[in-house]
């Protein structure tokens, strides 16, 4: 069985830089045996964000790719906070917010971009938790997707 770090290496992806807070909050906070990750946007490896509204500027597939990029951004924050993804036992909860037109209804499909990535990292048993995928009238800076996550940590 491969570790989360080995699974990440196998995917051969480059993580973006972990984003600095753009408000008064912490990117991640450990409480008891959990790490809570604040809402993240789709930061690219260049440090720039992906912009656009799903159903208007970005199609459904582009939204799903943006959600995957948010997942990679969250991984960068986790590695900064913890040093290794191996310290995480499982995904507990994902809240995925999609900046979309009022007639767009495929929010779960878009957020699958992040959920599928986490399943690849932690496996289907530990990489899939509970989830909400909802539409928003807007998101900060007109990003297409924002995601926050709660992870359970391994007992050391």
- Per-residue pLDDT tens over the stretch 87-141: 999 999 999 999 999 999 999 999 999 999 999 999 999 999 999 999 999 999 9
Q: 100 forms bridges with which residues in the sheet?
A: 54
Which 8-state DSSP code applies to residue 32?
Answer: T
Q: Which two structure tokens, joined as six digits, stand for 119? A: 């399943």
Q: Distance between terminal CA atoms of the chain?
A: 19
- Per-residue pLDDT tens over the stretch 36-65: 999 999 999 999 999 999 999 999 999 999
pLDDT attached to residue 56: 97
Would you say the pTM of this structure is higher than 0.75? yes
Q: What are phi and psi of 147, to 5 degrees?
A: -135, 135
- Over 90: is that where the pLDDT of 1 sits? no
Gap between the Cα atoms of 132 and 43, Å rounded: 21
Nearest alpha-carbon partner for 110 in 77, 62, 78, 156: 62
Q: What are phi and psi of 145, to 5 degrees?
A: -145, 140
């Amino acid at each position: 069985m491969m570790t989360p770090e080995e699974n990440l290496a196998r995917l051969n992806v480059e993580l973006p830089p972990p984003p600095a807070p753009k408000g008064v909050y912490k990117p991640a906070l450990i409480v008891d045996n959990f790490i809570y990750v604040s809402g993240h946007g789709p930061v690219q490896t260049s440090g720039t964000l992906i912009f656009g509204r799903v159903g208007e500027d970005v199609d459904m597939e582009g939204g799903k790719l943006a959600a995957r990029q948010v997942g990679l951004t969250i991984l960068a924050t986790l590695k900064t906070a913890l040093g290794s993804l191996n310290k995480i036992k499982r995904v507990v909860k994902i809240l995925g917010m999609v900046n979309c037109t009022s007639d767009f209804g495929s929010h779960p499909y878009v957020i699958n971009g992040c959920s599928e990535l986490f399943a690849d990292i932690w496996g289907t048993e530990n990489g899939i938790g509970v989830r909400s995928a909802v539409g928003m009238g807007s998101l900060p800076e007109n990003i297409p997707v924002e995601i926050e996550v709660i992870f359970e940590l391994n007992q050391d």
